[in-house]
């Protein structure tokens, strides 16, 4: 679904990703761990076209995204990448002046030219899925953080992405609200959605993921099954990271 080949990303003199090789297969649930500043967000942002690789490439579905700018149409490539991937951020990013329903129907109506009646039907089923049918006509400011994040997930799903990228989706939430968001993500995983999740929720990582990738300093230091990573970390960095998470 996604393949990074020798992917490097540099901001001025700062090399943030160094020769990343990563292949994500259908229905994998990959958790990306690592200390703050290790390049996790930048890696996700390269995968959905928010950042351009400095070297190497990212193949997203059938689109190869690389540093050469050597694409027949960059605009079309970005559109394809963003249709293929759904992204959920720490900070929800809902449109505050729109109702929950309007937030969800807007992307499929504008990007995919979906008829309004069909978009509303889709929004209703997605809101049912995240347990928020009764909030359809509310504005985001009237919802809790956990509810807003569930709306953000529903909005992302409305574009029918092939893979979901989550960047610390529960980090901005009060602890008592993280569970409802993780439950929605776990349900998605069970339904076969392919996912990459950056998170500090170690219990979720252990229970839900098929593969853990540990990054530090822009490099993949280790990867393996959750059992391998949590029970037998191979590097000092990973052991130190896990101690700090306890
Ligand atoms: P993580 O998500 O693991 O905390 P990031 O990918 O956000 O790490 O950041 C990795 C490094 O890249 C950090 O040192 C950060 O300051 C730097 N960085 C990220 N985005 C930019 C940018 N747009 N311009 C300059 N530096 C950036
Ligand atoms: Mg980050």
**Each residue's pLDDT tens digit, 189-241:** 999 999 999 999 999 999 999 999 999 999 999 999 999 999 999 999 999 99
Q: What is the pLDDT of residue 162?
A: 98
Is ligand 1 within 6 A of the CB of residue 34? Answer: yes
Is ligand 1 within 6 A of the CB of residue 37? Answer: yes
Q: Which residues contact 83 (CB under 8 A, 6 or more apart)?
A: 111, 112, 159, 161
Is ligand 1 within 6 A of the CB of residue 169? Answer: no
Is ligand 1 within 6 A of the CB of residue 40? Answer: yes
Atom of ligand 1 nearest to the CA of 11: 25
**CA of 64 relative to ligand 1 center, distance in Å:** 23
Which among 15, 41, 44 is the best mutation to test ligand 1's pocket, defined by most ligand atoms within 8 Å of the CB? 41
**CA of 229 relative to ligand 1 center, distance in Å:** 25
Proximal ligand: closest to the CA of 16 = 1
Question: pTM to 2 decimals?
Answer: 0.96
Q: Which residues contact 23 (CB under 8 A, 6 or more apart)?
A: 2, 3, 4
Name which residue sits closest to atom 23 of ligand 1, judged by CA.
Answer: 11
pLDDT by residue (tens digit) across 150-202?
Answer: 999 999 999 999 999 999 999 999 999 999 999 999 999 999 999 999 999 99
Is ligand 1 within 6 A of the CB of residue 21? Answer: no
Q: pLDDT exceeding 90 applies to what percent of the chain?
A: 92
Q: What is the pLDDT of residue 141?
A: 96
**CA of 239 relative to ligand 2 center, distance in Å:** 20
Name which residue sits closest to atom 5 of ligand 1, judged by CA.
Answer: 39
**CA of 53 relative to ligand 2 center, distance in Å:** 17
Is ligand 1 within 6 A of the CB of residue 200? Answer: no
Give the separation between CA 177 and CA 165, rounded to whole angstroms: 20
Is the ipTM higher than 0.85? The answer is yes
For residue 74, name the pLDDT band (cuts at 50, 70, 90).
confident
Is ligand 1 within 6 A of the CB of residue 41? Answer: yes
How large is the average pLDDT for residues 68-85? 82
**CA of 143 relative to ligand 1 center, distance in Å:** 30
| Maximum Cα–Cα distance across the chain | 55
């Amino acid at each position: 679904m996604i393949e990074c080949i020798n992917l490097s990303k540099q901001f001025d003199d700062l090399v943030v990703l160094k020769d990343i090789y990563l292949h994500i297969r259908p229905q994998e649930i990959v958790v990306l761990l690592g200390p703050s500043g290790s390049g996790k967000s930048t890696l996700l942002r390269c995968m959905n076209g928010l950042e351009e690789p400095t070297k190497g490439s990212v193949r997203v579905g059938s689109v190869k995204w690389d540093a050469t700018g050597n694409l027949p149409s960059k605009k079309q490539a970005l559109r394809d990448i963003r249709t293929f991937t759904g992204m959920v951020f720490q900070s929800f990013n809902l449109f505050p002046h729109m109702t929950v329903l309007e937030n969800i129907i807007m992307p499929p109506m504008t990007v995919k030219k979906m008829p309004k009646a069909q978009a509303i039907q889709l929004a209703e089923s997605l809101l049912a899925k995240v347990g928020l049918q009764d909030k359809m006509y509310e504005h985001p400011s009237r919802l809790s953080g956990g509810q807003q994040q569930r709306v953000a997930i529903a909005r992302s799903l409305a574009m029918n992405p092939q893979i979901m990228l989550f960047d610390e989706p529960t980090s901005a939430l009060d602890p008592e609200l993280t569970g409802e968001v993780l439950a929605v993500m776990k349900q998605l995983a069970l339904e076969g959605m392919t996912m990459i999740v950056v998170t500090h929720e170690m219990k979720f990582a252990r229970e839900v993921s098929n593969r853990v990738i540990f990054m530090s300093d822009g490099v993949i230091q280790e990867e393996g099954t959750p059992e391998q990573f949590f029970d037998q970390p191979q590097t000092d960095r990973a052991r130190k990271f896990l101690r700090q998470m306890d």
